Structure 1
Amino acid sequence: MVLSMDRWVGKVAIVTGASSGIGEAIAERLAEQGMKVVGVARRKDRLDALAQKTSGKKGKLYPMQGDVSKEGDILKVFKWTRDNLGPVHVLVNNAGVGCKSAIEDGKTEDWLQTININVVALCMGMREALKDMKEHNIDGHIFNINSIAGHYVLNYPRIEIYTATKHAVTALTESMRKQMAVQISKVRFTSISPGLTDTEMIEDAKKLNLIKDTSPVLYPEDIADAVEYALSTPPHVQVHEIMIRPTGDAL
């Protein structure tokens, strides 16, 4: 199998949650590989800094402020992308949040926010990307950044809602793979499920004593490697699920 990113050079990608962590690493990597990358996040200053950092690369990063919990913002991102760059070829649904509210004493608004961002926003992104891909006959690729918590229940307190949303991501990605097969579509779907990764979310977990400072971790660049690998496989190869753990992880 020959691995190559050549067919994606000059093509359009949208990456959500691109202002830090995994999303930032993926957006930077795709720009380095020659793609036109729309980086979406609420923190515009962080996106502007990333655009400056990647200036002079083979591709280009376009910073766009947006809150994926708002449908209007998602629609605005896709419309701007279509009008200014063309239809999307690659979508990376990376934006996500944890949830500190447990079932027994949690706040409904916290649960709804987590479900809205981790599940509903992901679905809206897939819907809009598929519209472009179908209308323009694009054999695109959609990535859903998942978690090992999307495959089994971790023995951590107060992450019931988060775990449920990540199980939903697993089910949705598999469902869409089968839908595309029924429709004889060549749009590929990949769920990437990292273990503990050195991001802002892990810092919150440390503050809550859910994990230790000495726990083995992955780095955002490791997840960007996985995205690049899946994209670089030939069109007839669908890498549907990648689970990544840090060496020494006993979870």
Structure 2
Amino acid sequence: MVLSIDRWFGKVAIVTGASSGIGAATAEKLVGHGLQVVGIARRKDRLEALAKKLTGKKGKFHPMTGDVTKEQDILNVFDWTRKNLGPCQILINNAGIICNSAIIGGKTEDWLQTINVNVVALCTATREALKDMMDNNLEGHIININSIAGHYILPGPNLEIYTATKHCVTSLTESMRKEMGRLQKKIKFTSISPGVVATEILARAPSDLSIDISINLQAEDIADAIEYVLSTPPRVQIHELMIRPTGDQI
């Protein structure tokens, strides 16, 4: 198997949660390979700083301010992209939050926020990307940034809702893989499930989490994994990729 990301040169990728962490590292990686990358996030200053950093690379980073929990913001990003760059061929569903609100004594608004970011926004962006890919008969790739929490029940309190949303991502990725097969579409679906990654999301994790977060991956490690799955030839689909830091005991 020959690995090469060159076939995506000049193609359009959309990355959610692109202002920091895995999203920013992924955007930088793809722009370096010559892709047109549209990054959506709420923090305009972070996006603009990233765009400035990536000036002069083979590709280009296009910052788009938006809140993925607002459907219209997602629709606006895809509409702008279609009109200015062309159809989306790669979608990185990276935006995600951790819920520090348990079932026992938890707040409904916290649950809904987590479900909206981790599941509903992912579905909305996926729907719009598939529209581009299917309407234009394109080979495409949709990558969902999942978690080991999408496969196991993590130790520690207050993680029930977060874990449930990530199990949902696992199910959605598998369901869409089968749907693409049924429809005979050359569109890949990949779930990338990291262990603990040193990103800003850790600051919102429960303080009494029974996990050693000092043993962690870096955002660049996940960006490398994304590069890997995109580099596989059209006949190969890396459907699930689980990545753990060395020494992890979860």
Matches within 5 A, 1:36-55: 36-55=36-55
Q: Deviations over 1:40-76 (max 9, x none)?
A: 1000100000011111111100000010000000000
- Is 2:100–2:204's contact at 8 Å kept on the other side of the alignment? no
Give the SS at the match of 2:245.
coil
Structure 2, unmatched stretches of 5+, are none
Matches within 5 A, 1:59-98: 59-98=59-98
Give the SS at the match of 1:236.
coil
Structure 1, unmatched stretches of 5+, are none
Q: Deviations over 1:17-48 (max 9, x none)?
A: 00010111111111011100001100010000
Question: 1:104, 1:95 → 2: CA distance?
Answer: 26
What does residue 113 of structure 2 align with?
113
Matches within 5 A, 1:142-181: 142-181=142-181
Question: 2:180, 2:89 → 1: CA distance?
Answer: 15
2:166 partner amino acid: K
Matches within 5 A, 1:1-251: 1-205=1-205, 208-210=207-209, 215-251=214-250
Q: How big is the shift at 1:155?
A: 1.0
Q: Pairwise CA RMSD of aligned residues? A: 1.1
Instruction: Report the CA distance shift for 1:82/1:241 in structure 2 as closer, same or farther (over 3 A).
Output: same
Ranges of 4+ aligned residues in structure 1 off by more than 3 Å: 211-214
Q: Deviations over 1:114-138 (max 9, x none)?
A: 1011000000011000000001111
1:238 partner amino acid: Q
Question: 1:94, 1:177 → 2: CA distance?
Answer: 18
Instruction: Report the CA distance shift for 1:250/1:213 in structure 2 as closer, same or farther (over 3 A).
Output: closer
Q: Deviations over 1:150-191 (max 9, x none)?
A: 001011210100000000000000000000000011100000
1:96 partner amino acid: G
Question: 2:151, 2:121 → 1: CA distance?
Answer: 20
Question: 2:101, 2:176 → 1: CA distance?
Answer: 30
Question: 1:121, 1:95 → 2: CA distance?
Answer: 8
Q: How big is the shift at 1:204?
A: 2.6
Q: TM-score, normalised by structure 1?
A: 0.98
Q: How big is the shift at 1:212?
A: 6.8
Question: 1:58, 1:25 → 2: CA distance?
Answer: 16
Q: TM-score, normalised by structure 2?
A: 0.98
Q: Report the count of equivalent residues.
A: 250
Question: 1:34, 1:165 → 2: CA distance?
Answer: 33
Give the SS at the match of 2:174.
helix
1:169 partner amino acid: V
Q: How big is the shift at 1:208?
A: 1.3
Instruction: Report the CA distance shift for 1:109/1:214 in structure 2 as closer, same or farther (over 3 A).
Output: closer
Q: How big is the shift at 1:215?
A: 2.6
Fraction of identical pairs, as percent: 68
- Is 2:156–2:208's contact at 8 Å kept on the other side of the alignment? no
Question: 2:213, 2:190 → 1: CA distance?
Answer: 30
